[in-house]
Amino acid sequence: MRFMGIDLGTRNIGVAVSDESCTIAQGRDVVKRTSDKEAADEIASMACRYGVSGIVVGLPVNMDGSEGERAEDARKFASLLENVSGIDVTLFDERLSTKEAEDILILADMSRAKRRRVIDKMAAQLILQTYLDMRLKG
């Protein structure tokens, strides 16, 4: 069994996949978000290729717990992805995941240009890893 993590951006979608024991998440790819249908089709294809049995989509919740326009966008995309892939999709609070990913990459002394290329899949990896860790705790 594997899980896939999704960091949904306005232009790019970060994708991460867990190992078979659902213990470790690894950033895999970035999908261009030219249209939601095309992106959902590509992600569904990747999910099939990796043998994914569950997908976790980051839900961008405001710091006060309220949901805004981006959260509604994530909900719509998650519903489309579930319909296209036939795989259960879970929404998961992703507060500050992109900021955390950027901080990690800065600490690793990565240039701004390199950070731009990997930040989306790193954010997806952090979303998925947090989800996996919470599942293990019970």
Specify the amino acid at residue 83.
N
CATH of the domain at 30: 3.30.420.140
pTM exceeds 0.85, yes or no: yes
Domains in the chain: how many in total? 1
- 50: buried, middle or exposed (CB in 10 Å: 19+, 13-18, 0-12)? middle
Reported as a single tens digit per residue, the pLDDT across 11-60 is: 999 999 999 999 999 999 999 999 999 999 999 999 999 999 999 999 99
Strand arrangement, sheet containing 25-32: 25-32, 12-18, 2-8, 52-59, 89-93
Q: How many residues in the chain?
A: 138
Boundaries of domain holding 50: 2-137
- Contact status, residue 29 vs residue 51, Cβ threshold 8 Å: no
